[in-house]
Structure 1
Amino acid sequence: MRPLPRLDGHPPVVVVGIGADGWAGLAPASCAEIERAEVAVGSARQLALVPASVPVERVPWPSPMLEALAGLVERHAGRALVVLASGDPMLSGVGTTLTRLLGADRVRVLPAPSSVSLACARLGWAVEETQVVSLVGRALELLHPHVQPGRRLLVLGSDGDTPAQVAALLTARGYGQSRVTVLGGLGGPDESTHSGTAAAWDGPGPALAITALECRADPGTVPLPTTPGLPDEVYESDGQLTRSEVRVVALARLAPIPGQVLWDVGAGSGSIGVEWMRAHPTCRAVAIEASAERAGRIGRNAASLGVPALRVVQGRAPEVLFGLPDPDAVFIGGGLTTPGLFEACWVALPAGGRLVANAVTVESEAVLAGWFARVGGDLVRIGLQRAEPVGRFTGWKPAMPVTIWSVIKP
C-alpha cells in the first residue's frame, strides 16, 4: 500500500464509527459530520444506515479495499470526506490505516462503542483482563499462543465460519471443554447470543459476530506457555533441535523484545525462531535453513505452535542473508565453521544487538573461542544428564555438552 502525499490545506478525513444500531445510536457530533460531508465512503451496509434524507455522495469501498485506499482519498482531496467504520475505527479498523497513511493530524476519528466493549458488557468481563485476537484476514493458527487454561479471549473473525473453526482448533488442542459464546449483531435490533462447548459446537454463526472463549483444558492436556522452553516433543524434528533446557538459556540471552527481528541461522527445526515469536505478537523472526526438507518442517512447526508468520528462507548462509530485514538479534545454531558466516552476522547487527551461538563439536568451539577472545561476551558450557532405566534401577545418562557464546555488540 503506497503512502499518500501530504494533503496540506485540505480538510481532514473524518472517520465515523457506526454500530449495528445505525443512525439512532450515533452521537450528535457524528451525525453532524456526516450531514455536512460531501462524500461518504463505507461498506454497502454502513452506507445504508445513513438516512436517505442526508444529501451526501455515497461511495462504496472498492475491492480490494486497502490497495485502493490511497487513490480514493487523493481522488476526493479538497472535499469534505467522511469514512464510515464499524464501531471503534482504531480497533483493527480503517482509522488506524488512515492515520498511518496520512498522519494523525490529517485524520479525525469519532468512535462508537467497539464490538469488544459491547461483548464485555454483555458477558460481564473486564475489558483490561480480556485478550483480543483478530483473525480478520489472518491465519487461524495465530490463536494457539493465547489458548491457556483460565484465559478469556474475544476472537474477531471474518465471517460466520469463524466460531466453528475456532471450536475445532480448541478441541484439537485438548481444550474441548472450553465455553464458546457467539455474540451476533451487537448493539443492533437482531442481537443474538449462542453458547456451548468447543467439542459440541456445530454450525456457522452470524456474519457479524464476535466469538468469546473461556479456555478450559481437558484432563491430561499439557499447557504450552509463551515462556521459552516448550517440551521437545511438541516439535516435529529429525533430531536437529535445540533441546528445551538449552533453548531456555539461549533465548534468555537473545532477550526477545516486542517489535524486534531475529535471525535464526541454521534453524534445524525452527524452535528458537518459534519461541522468539511466541514471546510477543509483534516479535518477528527469519529462519535460515539450508535443507529444503527441514525448511518445510520449520514452516509446519511454526503453524502448529501459533506463529505462522515466521519467515523461512531456504538456502546457505551467509549468501542468503543479504537482503533480509536487519536483525536486532542473531542466533547461530548450525554452520559455525562456514567461512564468512560470523562476519556477516556481526556486520548486520546494530549497536546493542545480541548474538548467541551454540556449539557441540571441538571445531565449532574453537570458532566461538576465537570470537570470544576478539570481542568478549560470555562463554559457558552446559552439561545435561537425564534419568533413565538401568535394568531394575535408574541411572544418569549424559547428553553432549553444549557451549554457548553470547555477546552484545558495542
Structure 2
Amino acid sequence: MMDVYVIGIGPGNPAYLTERARSIIAACPVLAGDRRMLAPFEMEGKQLVATYKMEELRQLAVSLLPDGGPLAILVSGDVGFYSLAALVKDLPGCRIHRIPGISSLVYFASLLQTNWHDAYIVSRHGRCDSLTEAVRHHGKVFCLTGGSDTPAALCQTLCHAGLGQVRVAVGCRLSYEDEQVTEGTAEELAGCPEDDSLAVMMIWNDGARPWQRPVHGLPDESFIRGNAPMTKQEIRSIALSRLAPSPDAVVYDIGAGTGSCTVELALLVPMGEVFAFEIDAEARTVLDANIDHFSLNNVTVVAGNAARTLPDVTAVPDAVFIGGTKGNISAILDEIYRKNPACRIVMTAITVETLAAVTAYYAARHDYILDITQVMTARSRHIGSSHMMMAQNPVYIMTAVCKTAPDGERRTSCPQ
C-alpha cells in the first residue's frame, strides 16, 4: 500500500505550514497541487505535478504504484474547509492521510482580531450560497469569494438588497508580502476596482434578525401581475405547505408563470436555491420583475420547455413544485427521479386529463405514494352593501413521496 498525504498548506505563505506538514513534504519525492502551492518547493529536487483535477491525481497515484511514493497532494487552507481533500478518497492501493492546516477563516479572523466561532460561513467559490440572506439573519458572516463573485460584486448585491450599511472587511493575498485588508461599509466597497477573485470577506450586521420560517400564502396583490395564469393565494398556501422544503433545499418550480410560487419558495429556502422553469417569454418578463420586486438572489430562471431544459440543470432537486408541463408530465417526472429518486413532488392541476396522466404514471411506480386533494374555494365580492361568494375553479393538489424515507424508514402515507 502506498501512502498518500493530503496536506493543508494554510493560507499560502510557507511560514504558516505546520511542522507535521513540513516534515511529510520533505519525505515525499512527488508533490501535486495547484502551481501556486507548488512554487515554494521548486528548488528542492522533487517531482512537481501541477494539477488539481481528480482524475489526473488518480492517474498519478496509479503510476507510482507499486514502488513509488509516498505522494503529497497540497491543498490550500485546511483539509476540512471547502477543500479538494473531500474528493481525494478511494484511491486503489493507497492509504490516504489528511494533514490539517490553517484555514483562511482562522487566519483572517486572527488578522482582524476577532473571534470566528460565531461566524456563519458562506462560499461563493464555485458555489451559490446566499450571501444576502446569511447577512440579513446573522451578526457575523465569513465569505469565500471566487470567479465573477468578487468582493465588489458581492457588496453591490448587498446594497441592492438594502444592506449597504453593513460593515465589511476584505482580505486579499492573505499571508503574502503584498497582503491587503480593506474595511468599510458595503456601499463604500461596492465601487472599488475588481479585487482578487480569491479574496475573503468578513461582514458584520448589527441589525441582523434570526431567521424565522415565513408564513406562506402571500396576498395575490403582493405580486406584479401579467397575462399568464397565477397560482392563487389559497392554493399556493396549501401546495407549499405540502412541499415543506428545508431552508437550505434546492427546489425546482416547473411552469413558474409570473412567479408567485417561485417568490414564496425562494423565501422558504433562504439558504437554498430555486430554479424557475418557464417557456413563455411574456410570463418570464413578469417573473423577472417579481424576483427583482422581492430582492431575491437565490433564484435562477431557466427559459424554455422544461422537458428539454431539465437535463441542463446540474443542481439536484430536494423538492419540486409543478404547476404546468405543456403535456410532458411523464418526461418531466422521469428526469426529476433520474436526478433524485427520493425527491418530494407537489403538483397542481385544474383538468381531469392532467389528473389522469399523473395517476397513471404513479400506478406504474409502486415505490411511490401519491396523495390527491381537491380544493374548492370561494371569494367574496361586494354587491352593494352585501357580500356575494364567487366560486373559484376547483384545483387538484397531488403530493408524491418515495416510500423509503432518507433515513431508511418505510412510509405508508404522505407526510402532511
2:373 paired residue among 352, 373, 379:
379
Of the three residues 184, 202, 205, the one matched with 2:172 is: 184
Q: Give the whole-Å Cα distance in 1 for the aligned partners of 2:147 and 2:336.
A: 42
TM-score when normalising by structure 2: 0.69
1:209 to 2:203 alignment: no
Q: 2:240 aligns with which of 222, 247, 251?
A: 251
Report the aligned-residue RMSD: 5.1
Name stretches of at least 5 consecutive residues in structure 1 with no aligned partner. 1-8
In structure 1, C-alpha distance between the alignment counterparts of 2:225 and 2:174, rounded to whole Å: 42
- How big is the shift at 1:241? 3.5
| Residue 89 in structure 1 maps to residue 83 in structure 2 | no
Moved more, 83-92 or 288-297: 288-297
Report the residue type matching 1:403 in the other structure: V
> What is the aligned counterpart of 1:156 among 144, 148, 156?
144
- Counterparts in 2 of 1:136-285, with a 5 A limit? 136-138=125-127, 142-158=130-146, 162-188=150-176, 190-201=178-189, 202-204=191-193, 205=195, 209-215=199-205, 227=214, 229=216, 238-243=227-232, 246-257=235-246, 264-269=253-258, 272=261, 276=265
1:174, CA displacement in angstroms?
A: 1.4
TM-superposed CA distance for 1:39, in Å, is 1.0
Given that residues 258 and 283 in structure 1 are in contact (C-alpha distance below 8 angstroms), is that contact kept between their aligned partners in structure 2?
A: yes
The one-letter code sitting in structure 2 at the alignment partner of 1:29 is: R
> Is 1:291 aligned to residue 280 of structure 2?
yes
Counterpart CA distance in 2 for 1:114 and 1:98 is 18
Confirm whether residue 134 of structure 1 aligns to residue 120 of structure 2. no
Aligned to 2:407: none
**Measured at CA, do residues 355 and 39 of structure 1 come closer, stay the same or move farther in structure 2, by a change above 3 Å?**
closer
Percent identity over paired residues: 27
Q: Which amino acid aligns with 1:14?
A: Y
Matched residue count:
384
User: Does the aligned pair in 2 maintain the 1:19–1:188 contact within 8 Å?
Assistant: no
Distance in 2 (CA, whole Å) between partners of 1:196 and 1:83 is 37
Query: What residue number does 1:356 align with?
Result: 346
Deviation at 1:34, TM superposition (A): 0.4
Aligned positions of 1:324-403 closer than 5 A: 329-334=319-324, 338=327, 341=329, 345=333, 354-359=344-349, 361=350, 363=351, 367=355, 377=371, 379=373, 381=375, 383=377, 400=392, 403=395
- Cα deviation, 1:72-117, whole Å, max 9, x if unaligned, reads 4444454322122211133222212223x64997432212110112
Give, in angstroms, the shift of residue 253 of structure 1: 0.6
Map of 1:60 onto structure 2: 50
Q: CA shift at 1:275, angstroms?
A: 5.4
Distance 1:40 1:260, change over 3 A: same
Matching of residues 71-90 of structure 1 within 5 Å = 71-77=59-65, 78-90=68-80
Change in CA separation of 1:136 and 1:408 when aligned onto 2, cut-off 3 Å? closer
TM (norm. structure 1) is 0.70
CA deviation vs aligned residue, 1:312-332 (integer Å, no higher than 9, x gap) = 362276x88899999765533
What is the CA–CA distance in structure 2 between the aligned matches of 1:161 and 1:83, rounded to whole Å?
A: 27
